[in-house]
Chains A and B, each alone.
Chain A
Amino acid sequence: GDSVTQMEGPVTLSEEAFLTINCTYTATGYPSLFWYVQYPGEGLQLLLKATKADDKGSNKGFEATYRKETTSFHLEKGSVQVSDSAVYFCALRATGGGNKLTFGTGTQLKVEL
């Protein structure tokens, strides 16, 4: 079945450092890919998405490119801030849609001054 694999955390960075959180997936066809963010004490929020190969999703300085050849959707940000501290989830929606999202296990990011 479909699955999403994320790098384990926590990831601890200094402010203004470069961020990469790796995400790879297993799915048939051409799934849609997403990154969600969960700030402390809150529910998940959609951060960015890509619905076809080579699409780049971007939002709030974060970017991720849908790489079909490597089945990856790595999250990057050039300069993180303390306010980016959160848990980040990679997710996919299978080809054909439906109501089901398959989530990765989440990666906690801590940004320190």
Chain B
Amino acid sequence: NAGVTQTPKFQVLKTGQSMTLQCAQDMNHEYMSWYRQDPGMGLRLIHYSVGAGITDQGEVPNGYNVSRSTTEDFPLRLLSAAPSQTSVYFCASRSSGGSSYEQYFGPGTRLTVT
């Protein structure tokens, strides 16, 4: 049972490049979320999904796209990276039967946009 896995762990992009941050969970959780963590800002919700085929925006969705074609995977896409997207990104999942505090977090992806 690997829990929540994220790849890559580190990434450097140039402004305007695109990339996808991968997130997978093997706990059969319905709910998955993406957060970004910035110094002095705490964690902020980017997008979330309540099940395969269903996604919704969080607090800071601009510049990011998501899709949820399977229960296990919830990739986060940056279509045209900007320096403001330099951050640490965390993916989280939880069962629909639990409360939102019972989230399981991945180890994070540290992204730098130059």
Using a CB–CB cutoff of 8 Å, the interface residues on chain A facing chain B are 4, 32, 34, 41-46, 49, 89, 91, 93, 97-106
Q: A99-B33, A99-B50 are in contact. Are A46 and B40 (CB under 8 A)?
A: no
A41 to chain B: closest residue by CB: B107
Using a CB–CB cutoff of 8 Å, the interface residues on chain B facing chain A are 4, 31, 33, 37, 39-45, 48, 50, 58-59, 90, 92, 99-108
Contact of B48 among A49, A99, A103 (CB under 8 A): A99
CB <8 Å contact, A34 and B90: no
Which of A34, A43, A98 counts the most B-chain CB atoms under 10 A from its CB? A43
* A43 partner residues in chain B, CB cutoff 8 A: 4, 90, 92, 104-108
A99-B100, A102-B42 given. 5 additional CB < 8 A pairs?
A: A43-B108, A44-B43, A46-B101, A101-B101, A105-B40
* B90 partner residues in chain A, CB cutoff 8 A: 43-44
CB <8 Å contact, B42 and A103: yes
B32 to chain A: closest residue by CB: A99
B105 to chain A: closest residue by CB: A43
CB <8 Å contact, B101 and A99: no
* B45 partner residues in chain A, CB cutoff 8 A: 99-101
* B104 partner residues in chain A, CB cutoff 8 A: 43
